[in-house]
């Protein structure tokens, strides 16, 4: 395999490093990590360790149908209201101390979603009531609603309708609402007005708290890397409002769904089930929906990772009703024209191409042509031979090296539970020594840090050397994911000092 060497494209203009930790994983009093004090403490931790980047997962809404995965959202634009900090709502006069006294005891190790959601929904209603009596917030709220009208109105209506219709999938709503008959929609807006306004209010609070945190990070020299999933959930406001840009059949149900063929993660492939795009229709609109989506994310984040980048070049399409992703086919997408249009509309593109798995030459060529940094994951490096692109001697300057990602086991978990004997032997040969399970995370961190890659990102679990119980997601499983939380004791000067020392040694300060 020929390894292409590319220069930096300015997305990562100098050597730097950072930490991968989703906001939901942060320590916080009210059941899930949020934009409150612990997020600022984490930013301080990163700054003390001279880190340049904080990488998060998508911040869009999650739901129980998909086990709260941030990669299956009911909106491509809205924020996850459960990441709002009740502490800061109280600070800002949107909650009273008495409103929070009913908070139950939550686990500090895992997110207990139903329990957390029940409590937060209760206090959000109280917060909205307090908000309606606050005149000084009105100007900011009205400006937010005006600036985000293109998606906010439909999103708030969608959530209100879903609640009103007992959570039913939008394809099971009454025909007039399902097909967005203007009279029916107008009538429902009137009858659900308060719920709609409450959802808009929560998006306003989400945005206000997030941008305050982002500004704080920026002032400390920390850039935030966000993440855009390739697909949206079928039961989403985007498919309800824009059915024409998806391959839907009778009754507006998917004719084809997304996935990937058999790969490292699953011998049957991964059947994601999202509706796939009609790129011909998107092209005829000048890719308006995608441009708006990426532009929206580039306001939220400094850099954005495009998940499943190869789907912009060709995507795996499986007929609706299939039980595995084995029987599908690759369908071409207009990647070059799309990215050219995107660049002409948005200018510089601070994007990372998620190019993991089996990547064909046409995908590599698009990444090269647009000079996008790709990804190199060290947990994939020690299978195969010396041409393996994930091996450090095959890295290039314009890429991001990871020990692992949210979809992988932790380094320690991989070493103990997943690595083959031959992989361990290759790892030891590469390091020039044998290492114990308790030290393997540190060795792979050093490998990542000394890589020629402009940027090195390490999941917080690997910085701490945690095992499989700290894993964030298992792609082949839909149970028990997205729940891990960081214990407060780990955000200490000893951990920060160790990370700082390694960052300095390898020139990433």
Quick check: is 442 catalytic? Answer: no
Structure tokens at 276: 């796939």
Do the domain assignments include residue 496? Answer: no
> Which residue in 407, 423, 454, 462 is the catalytic one?
407
Domain count across the chain: 1
User: Dihedral (C-alpha) 66, 68, 69, 72: value to the nearest 10 degrees?
Assistant: 50
State how far Cα 227 lies from the chain centre: 4
Domain limits at 261?
A: 242-372
Q: How confident is the model at residue 4 (pLDDT cuts 50, 70, 90)?
A: very low
Residues near 199 by Cβ (< 8 Å), separated by ≥ 6?
A: 81, 155, 156, 159, 160
Q: How confident is the model at residue 424 (pLDDT cuts 50, 70, 90)?
A: very high
Do the domain assignments include residue 268? Answer: yes
What is residue 3's predicted lDDT score, i.e. its pLDDT? 39
| 3-class DSSP state of 141 | helix
Residues in the chain: 509
Question: 55, exposed or middle or buried, with CB in 10 Å at 0-12, 13-18, 19+?
Answer: buried
| 3-class DSSP state of 151 | helix
Do the domain assignments include residue 495? Answer: no
Q: Rounded mean pLDDT of 149-160?
A: 98
CB 414 within 8 A of CB 404: yes
Of 111-125, 248-262, 328-342, 424-438, the range with the lowest mean pLDDT is 248-262
Q: How confident is the model at residue 13 (pLDDT cuts 50, 70, 90)?
A: confident
Do the domain assignments include residue 347? Answer: yes
- In 3D space, the residue among 263, 431, 444 whose CA is nearest the CA of residue 358 turns out to be 263
Do the domain assignments include residue 130? Answer: no
Q: Rounded mean pLDDT of 120-149?
A: 91
What is residue 1's predicted lDDT score, i.e. its pLDDT? 36
State the DSSP H helix or E strand holding residue 46, giving kind and residue range, or none if neither.
Answer: helix 37-48
Q: What gap in Å lies between CA 132 and CA 136, rounded to an integer?
A: 10
pTM to 2 decimal places: 0.95
Q: Is the pLDDT of residue 367 over 50?
A: yes
- In 3D space, the residue among 106, 14, 79, 75 whose CA is nearest the CA of residue 300 turns out to be 79
Q: How confident is the model at residue 265 (pLDDT cuts 50, 70, 90)?
A: low
Beta pairing, strands 314-319 & 256-260: antiparallel
Q: What gap in Å lies between CA 173 and CA 168, rounded to an integer?
A: 7
Question: 78, exposed or middle or buried, with CB in 10 Å at 0-12, 13-18, 19+?
Answer: buried
Q: What gap in Å lies between CA 66 and CA 274, rounded to an integer?
A: 11
Q: Is the pLDDT of residue 214 over 90?
A: yes
Q: In the chain, what percentage of residues exceed pLDDT 90?
A: 92
Q: Rounded mean pLDDT of 235-263?
A: 94
Do the domain assignments include residue 290? Answer: yes
Quick check: is 153 catalytic? Answer: no
- In 3D space, the residue among 179, 228, 198 whose CA is nearest the CA of residue 77 turns out to be 228
> Which residue in 34, 354, 355, 443 is the catalytic one?
354
- In 3D space, the residue among 475, 469, 495, 502 whose CA is nearest the CA of residue 109 turns out to be 469
What is residue 35's predicted lDDT score, i.e. its pLDDT? 98
Q: What gap in Å lies between CA 497 and CA 491, rounded to an integer?
A: 11
Q: Is the pLDDT of residue 5 over 60?
A: no
Quick check: is 407 catalytic? Answer: yes
What is residue 307's predicted lDDT score, i.e. its pLDDT? 97
What is residue 477's predicted lDDT score, i.e. its pLDDT? 81
Do the domain assignments include residue 301? Answer: yes
Q: What mean pLDDT is reported for the chain?
A: 95
Q: How many CA atoms lie within 13 A of 393 on its CB side?
A: 7
Do the domain assignments include residue 500? Answer: no
Residues near 14 by Cβ (< 8 Å), separated by ≥ 6?
A: 454
Q: Is the pLDDT of residue 2 over 70?
A: no
Q: How many CA atoms lie within 13 A of 12 on its CB side?
A: 32
CB 271 within 8 A of CB 318: yes
Q: What gap in Å lies between CA 36 and CA 86, rounded to an integer?
A: 8
């Amino acid at each position: 395999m020929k390894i292409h060497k590319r220069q930096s494209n300015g997305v990562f203009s100098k050597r730097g490093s950072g930490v991968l930790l989703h906001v939901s994983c942060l320590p916080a009093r009210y059941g899930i990590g949020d934009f409150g004090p612990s997020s600022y403490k984490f930013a301080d931790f990163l700054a003390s360790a001279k880190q340049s980047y904080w990488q998060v997962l998508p911040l869009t809404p999650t739901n129980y149908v998909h086990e709260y995965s941030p990669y299956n959202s009911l909106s491509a634009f809205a924020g996850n209201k459960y990441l709002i900090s009740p502490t800061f709502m109280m600070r800002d006069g949107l909650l009273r101390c008495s409103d929070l006294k009913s908070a139950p005891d939550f686990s500090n190790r895992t997110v207990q979603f139903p329990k957390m959601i029940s409590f937060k929904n209760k206090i959000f209603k109280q917060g909205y009531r307090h908000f309606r009596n606050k005149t000084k917030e009105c100007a900011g709220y009205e400006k937010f609603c005006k600036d985000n009208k293109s998606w906010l109105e439909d999103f708030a209506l969608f959530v209100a309708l879903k609640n009103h219709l007992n959570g039913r999938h939008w394809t099971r709503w009454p025909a007039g609402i399902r097909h967005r008959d203007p009279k029916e929609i107008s009538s429902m807006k009137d009858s659900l007005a308060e719920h709609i306004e409450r959802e808009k209010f929560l998006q306003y609070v989400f945005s206000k708290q997030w941008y305050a945190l982002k500004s704080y990070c920026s002032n400390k020299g920390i850039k935030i890397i966000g993440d855009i999933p390739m697909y949206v959930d079928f039961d989403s406001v985007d498919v309800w409002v824009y059915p024409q840009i998806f391959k839907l059949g009778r009754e507006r149900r998917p004719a084809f769904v997304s996935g990937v063929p058999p790969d490292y993660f699953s011998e049957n492939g991964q059947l994601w089930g999202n509706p796939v795009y009609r790129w011909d229709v998107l092209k005829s609109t000048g890719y308006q929906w995608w441009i708006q989506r990426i532009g929206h994310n580039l306001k939220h984040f400094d850099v954005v990772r495009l998940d499943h980048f190869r789907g912009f070049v060709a995507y795996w399409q499986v007929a609706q009703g299939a039980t595995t992703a084995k029987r599908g086919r690759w369908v071409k997408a207009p990647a070059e024209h799309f990215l050219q249009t995107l660049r002409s509309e948005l200018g510089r593109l601070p994007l990372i191409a998620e190019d993991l798995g089996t990547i064909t030459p046409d995908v590599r060529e698009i990444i090269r042509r647009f000079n996008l940094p790709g990804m190199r994951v060290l947990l994939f490096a020690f299978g195969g031979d010396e041409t393996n692109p994930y091996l450090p001697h095959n890295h290039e300057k314009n890429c991001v090296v990871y020990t692992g990602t949210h979809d992988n086991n932790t380094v320690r978990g991989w070493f103990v539970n997943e690595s083959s004997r031959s992989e361990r032997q290759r790892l030891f040969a590469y390091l020039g020594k044998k290492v114990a399970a308790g030290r393997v995370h540190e060795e792979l961190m050093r490998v990542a840090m000394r890589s020629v890659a402009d940027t090195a990102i390490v999941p917080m679990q690997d910085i701490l050397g945690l095992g499989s119980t700290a894993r964030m997601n298992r792609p082949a499983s839909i149970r028990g994911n997205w729940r891990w939380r960081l214990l407060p004791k780990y955000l200490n000067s000893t951990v920060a000092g160790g990370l700082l020392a390694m960052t300095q040694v390898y020139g990433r300060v």
